[in-house]
Amino acid sequence: MTAGPVLAAGMAMLSAGTYAFRLSGGLLRARVAFPPWAQRLLEDAAVVVLAALAATTALLRLADVR
Amino acid sequence: MSSIYRTLAGPVLRNIAFACLAVWLVGLSYGAVAVASGFPRWFPVVQGALVLAGASEFLFVGIIAAGGSPLTAALAGLLVNARHVPYGLALPDVTGPGWRRLLGAHLMNDESVVFALAQDDPARGRAAYWACGLGIAVCWPGGAAAGAVLGGLVRDPNAFGLDAMFPAVILALIIPALRGRAALRAALAGAVIALAAAPFLPAGLPLLLALLALLAPLARGERAAP
């Protein structure tokens, strides 16, 4: 397992970046028009990464001889 | 808080309560899986409270448990959380200015956005956003804490199928998003790419390579209308 401080740094990066995403949409609302296809692309990207995670953890663990 | 109860109709509050309960249960599995994967007990609880975005946290834990670096794990998690930018653009002003905006932004998630957008007037939308957002901000880390305690009690978590639960929970999280044929195709193609790349690349990178699946519709000439 990764050492505690490195783990905490990764978590800090994820939480700070996620908060920036959450805040930025509302602040940009008045200024930019985010096209629907771009929103769909971001949602599809999230689904693809998660599907890849589910597939690799499920199938590669089955292939492991424990 | 009493204004939330006065503003929202019973069925809406009940649905929000169900959503929070579901999030608590997923949080339970998240805490148990994280501890079973070797994370310290505080980790899923603190990350749950600070990140407050379930799928990205599962991703973070899964990549590190598989031997990936925290940097890869954080980048993959951020990619999954980028959808919060268009959420913020799509929502009307549900938070108000000042400290409410700063706190309210942290409460933005799939559920609170859906409930806010489903209400037919702005006051109800605001109330639904705060009720759902606050409920999940309590239930997600709370479920993770309960799961971390339970996961720590089990000596060999794999004997109870905790490792099998991980992909099952991820699938349950993404099934609502697979409604469209294109999304389903992209998800399947991404899974195949990741599986093919997994033996050759360090953990985490195959998941990012899976994004190539998003290019498939472009190759077929089904360009999204600008």
Query: Which residue in chain B is spatially nearest to A28 when comparing CA positions?
Result: B89
Cβ B51–A4 below 8 Å, yes or no? no
Which pLDDT score, from 0 to 100, does residue B221 have?
A: 57
Q: A33-57, pLDDT tens digit by residue?
A: 778 888 788 878 888 888 988 888 8
Residue B185 has pLDDT above 60, yes or no: yes
* Listed range (B57-61, B121-125, B158-162) with the worst mean pLDDT: B158-162
Cβ A50–B55 below 8 Å, yes or no? yes
Which pLDDT score, from 0 to 100, does residue A57 have?
A: 80
> Greatest CA span in chain B, whole angstroms?
57
**Could you tell me what percent of chain B has a pLDDT over 70?**
89
Summarize the confidence of residues B180-193 as an average pLDDT. Answer: 90
Q: B20-47, pLDDT tens digit by residue?
A: 998 998 899 899 989 988 899 999 999 9
User: Which has more confidence, A15 or B113?
Assistant: A15
Residues of A within 8 A of B86 (CB-CB) are 25, 34, 38-39, 42
Q: Tell me the whole-structure pTM to 2 decimals.
A: 0.81
Residues of B within 8 A of A65 (CB-CB) are none
Residues A41-54 as b/e (b if ≥16 CB within 10 A, e otherwise) read bbbbbbbbbbbbbb
Residues of B within 8 A of A50 (CB-CB) are 55, 58-59, 80, 170, 173-174
User: Which has more confidence, A31 or B136?
Assistant: B136
Which pLDDT score, from 0 to 100, does residue A65 have?
A: 36
Q: Is A56 exposed, middle or buried (CB count within 10 Å of its CB: 0-12, 13-18, 19+)? A: buried
Cβ B85–A25 below 8 Å, yes or no? yes
